Amino acid sequence: MADKSVLEKAKKIFENFLARQGSRKTPERFSVIDELYGLPQDEHIDVEGLFLLMRNKGYTISRATIYNTLDLLVECGLAVKHQFKDKVALYEQALTYKHHDHHVCNQCRKIREFSDERINLIKEAMGEEFQSGITSHSLVLYGDCQIENCENLSLL
Amino acid sequence: MADKSVLEKAKKIFENFLARQGSRKTPERFSVIDELYGLPQDEHIDVEGLFLLMRNKGYTISRATIYNTLDLLVECGLAVKHQFKDKVALYEQALTYKHHDHHVCNQCRKIREFSDERINLIKEAMGEEFQSGITSHSLVLYGDCQIENCENLSLL
DNA sequence: TTACATGCAAACCCTTTGCAATCGT
DNA sequence: ACGATTGCAAAGGGTTTGCATGTAA
């Protein structure tokens, strides 16, 4: 879970972002940021998960609003959206985000993060080769992890 | 478009694969391989595209059969399935496939292929770190390409 | 006050599934 | 002939959209 100052900082950024484009500061929008940043820093959650989590906590919020808000958070850099091989999109907080990539277990779907500088060398080289301003990338390694009972778990 | 011997080889592999698991050699299955391998070697096509292409050529084939057959082709290594940021899955022939990764333009969605050995170093390092047998990976670079009128094209 | 945001449910889109008809073997 | 495969259309599942209601400014 992100410490308090991170959450506060995120809210500030969000406020500025909303103000800049003349969007409203609704309680729903801030509740989403509260809950996303209330998760462990490296947790990946999908819309349905966030919806259930929030409903269970007593919020009255709709899926549609969560979708909308997450889009906004991605837009202003406060959330990152991932699409692994599964059909649901997963989100994670992005404020204290150091770019990292992911390893996903073929069986249990457990997600682990890593960071390897060499990806940047590839991006530089290809940006040049393709005369393209590379804006982002997605790197996912799939493998069979060694976790006990891996094949019987479904951690996603 | 793959040269004739490649197509023949692919069909042989497919025949053996089907025989090995006691599946039938239906004309539909072979028509899918014909058409997939009739495309330029690096072309990415989705199910709907293949369906329309084949219908226009006079085949009577259903989407369901195309989905089924592509699954089989992926299973026996004759096709590769890609899921970029878009929601449709794209397929390409895989017989003459040297593993490569992709650059996708943020605007025009044009796909270009590249190969950079450094990805293997990353896979080795992470396989060790995570005690995981890495079986595959997906690397996609997103950028703004310099193609004339890029923003007005929709090449996907 | 008034336009934007919300909640709900219906619509969407790609993919999967169920089933009767067909066709390899 | 038998059972796998096909085509079709309906169902599924995640996401998006339309619209009446609510609400920030």
Q: Which domains does chain B carry?
A: 4-93 (1.10.10.10), 101-143 (3.30.1490.190)
Interchain contact, B133 vs A144, CB within 8 Å: yes
Strands A101-105 and A133-144 turn out to be parallel
- Which pLDDT score is estimated for B149? 66
Residues B95, B2: contact at Cβ < 8 Å?
Answer: yes
Residue in B113, B115, B137, B112 with CA at minimum distance from that of residue B124? B137
Interchain contact, B138 vs A142, CB within 8 Å: yes
Identify the three-state secondary structure at position A130.
Answer: coil
Tell me the residue length of chain A.
Answer: 156
- Which pLDDT score is estimated for B155? 37
B contact test, residue of A85, A86, A118, A146 with most B CBs within 10 A: A118
Interchain contact, A122 vs B123, CB within 8 Å: no
Q: Give the closest residue to D25 (Cα–C1′).
A: A24
pLDDT digits (tens, 9 = 90+) for A88-139: 999 999 987 678 999 998 878 889 999 999 999 999 999 999 999 999 999 9
- Which pLDDT score is estimated for B151? 60
- Distance in angstroms: CA B61, C1' C21: 15
- pLDDT at residue B152 is higher than 70: no
- Which pLDDT score is estimated for B2? 57
Contacts of A85 in chain B (CB under 8 A): 83
Going by the annotation, the residues of the binding site of A are 99, 101, 105, 108, 137, 145, 150
Interchain contact, A141 vs B131, CB within 8 Å: no
**Cross-strand partners of B12:** none
pLDDT digits (tens, 9 = 90+) for A70-89: 999 999 999 999 998 888 99
Strand D positions closer than 7 A to protein CB: 4-9, 13-18, 23-25
Identify the three-state secondary structure at position A117.
Answer: coil
B contact test, residue of A116, A140, A144 with most B CBs within 10 A: A116
Nucleotide with the nearest C1' to A25 CA: D24
Contacts of B114 in chain A (CB under 8 A): 126, 129-130
Nearest CA in chain B to A150: B132
pLDDT digits (tens, 9 = 90+) for B90-136: 999 998 777 899 999 887 888 999 999 999 999 999 999 999 999 99
User: What distance in Å separates residue B83's CA from the closest CA in chain A?
Assistant: 8
Contacts of B144 in chain A (CB under 8 A): 132-133, 135
Q: Give the closest residue to D22 (Cα–C1′).
A: A26
Query: B76: annotated binding-site residue?
Result: no
- Give the long-range contacts of residues A64-73, CB within 8 A, separation 24 or more: A65/A28, A65/A29, A65/A32, A66/A32, A69/A28, A69/A29, A69/A32, A69/A33, A70/A32, A70/A36, A72/A14, A72/A17, A72/A18, A72/A23, A72/A29, A73/A14, A73/A32, A73/A33, A73/A36
pTM for this entry = 0.85
Residue A107 tokens read as 């069986």
